[in-house]
Chain A
Amino acid sequence: MILGDRGSTLVANLIDDFAARCLPAREAHPA
């Protein structure tokens, strides 16, 4: 997908939110 800067930010935010709902609580430390 050609998203540009704003589209990439929107998609990244939607994916991050989706992952937060699907995955167990993430580790408290950087991977």
Chain B
Amino acid sequence: MAADQHRAHVRTTREAQGYVAGDGIQLAFGYWPGRGSPLVALHGLTASYVTFVGIAERLAGRRALFALDLRGRGRSDKPPSPYGMTQHASDVAAAMRSMDLGASIIIGHSMGGFVATALAEQAPELVAGLVLLDGGYAPIITVSGSQPSLDAALTLRISQLRQTYPSREAYRQFWRAQPHFPPEAWGSWIEAFLDYEIDGEPPVLRPRASEEGVRADVMEGLDRERIVARCRKLRVPVLMLRASAGFVPGSPPLFSDAMVEEMRACIPQMEEHLIPDSTH
């Protein structure tokens, strides 16, 4: 079948979910309507497209938003391999071409920022600008011992992927008991994200993300030289929005002032803002 026959133009006036062809696999996506060609959003290490629900609702129709579940996450296919930023970028490029999207604004949160810079390197014709949300630059993921709080957060997240939960409510309560979600931030957006994140039937529900895929991506996240090299090659406008705190309120930001300056040396055109009262 000709490639054009697979094309499904993203032109709908209502919120939608569906599947789109990635690089040999199926990727789940969410779509929020708005004016113009959609912004393309890529989530972090163990997350899903629903991580963007709050931003999508606050765009309030001004911009359409097309957010993917990366391979191994959410409702997307979970092959045993390959993973890594180059592979994710190939998936995103395939999905964008399937949707007949041209040069777009690519939004990447955390690891999604690495994927975004890999996409800019691999398929520059698909990238009009990058929005990096607390991500996209090393050493966001570091070797053990260099950033204890980050290591602890990753360890918790990966070990949590093996756990089962008797109900969605139990899963919500697990996270509500963690310091990551302060009571004042808890609301329907976080509940929607958590409800989407687990799969199965009571009393055995488990997180959807593939531990193998997450581990493979963490290992590539350690490749600082490659990440920095991708940043140095960026020739498109870049907007960096960094959280004022790390994984929990009151902790130091993952992107310190010094790291932002280091990043700016690689990406001189970068515009940067600190988002108050936010965490990674």
Query: Which A residues lie at the B interface, using CB under 8 A?
Result: 1-16, 18-19, 21-23, 26-27, 29-31
Please tell me the number of chain B residues within 8 Å of chain A, measured between CB atoms.
51
User: 20 A-B Cβ contacts within 8 A?
Assistant: A1-B134, A2-B278, A2-B280, A3-B275, A4-B184, A8-B54, A8-B55, A11-B58, A13-B58, A15-B59, A15-B105, A15-B107, A15-B131, A16-B62, A18-B237, A22-B128, A22-B237, A26-B37, A30-B33, A31-B34
Q: Are A15 and B277 in contact (CB under 8 A)?
A: no
Instruction: Assess A23 versus B243: contact at CB under 8 Å? Given A4-B278, A11-B58, A31-B64.
Output: no
A11-B55, A26-B35 are known contacts. Are A1 and B131 too (CB-CB below 8 A)? no
CA distance A2 to B133 in the complex (A): 11
Query: In whole Å, how far is B84's beta carbon from the nearest beta carbon of chain A?
Result: 23
Task: Determine how close the nearest CB of chain A comes to the CB of B182; give it in whole angstroms.
Answer: 8
Number of residue pairs A-B, CB distance < 8 angstroms: 111
Q: A15-B105, A30-B61 are in contact. List 12 more A-B contacts (CB 8 A).
A: A1-B278, A1-B280, A2-B185, A7-B277, A9-B58, A18-B131, A18-B237, A19-B129, A22-B128, A23-B37, A23-B129, A26-B37
In B130-160, the 8 Å CB interface with A consists of 131, 133-134
User: Contacts A21-B237, A23-B105 known; A3 to B64 CB distance under 8 Å?
Assistant: no
Residue ranges of B at the interface with A (Cβ–Cβ < 8 Å): 10-13, 33-39, 54-55, 57-64, 103, 105, 107, 109, 128-129, 131, 133-134, 180-182, 184-185, 187, 189-190, 236-237, 239, 241, 243, 271, 273, 275-280
User: Please, which residues of chain B bring their CB within 8 A of the CB of A31?
Assistant: 10-13, 33-38, 64
How distant is the Cα of A12 from the Cα of B27 in the complex, in angstroms?
25
Q: How far, in angstroms, from A9 to B243 measured CA to CA in the complex? A: 14
Task: Give Cα A1 to B68, complex, Å.
Answer: 16
Complex CA–CA separation, A24 to B12 (angstroms): 20
Decide: B63 and A19 in contact? CB cutoff 8 A: yes
Give A16's nearest chain B residue, CB to CB. Answer: B62
- Shortest C-beta distance, A5 to chain B (Å), equals 8
The residue from A4, A7, A15 contacting B239, defined by CB atoms under 8 A apart: A15
Q: Are B105 and A19 in contact (CB-based, < 8 A)?
A: yes
A26: contacting residue among B33, B36, B182, CB under 8 A: B36
What's the Cα separation between A22 and B234 when bound, in Å?
14
- Provide the bound-state CA to CA distance between A18 and B63, in Å: 11
- On whether the beta carbons of A18 and B129 are closer than 8 Å, the reply is yes
> Are A23 and B280 neighbours in the complex by a CB distance under 8 Å?
no
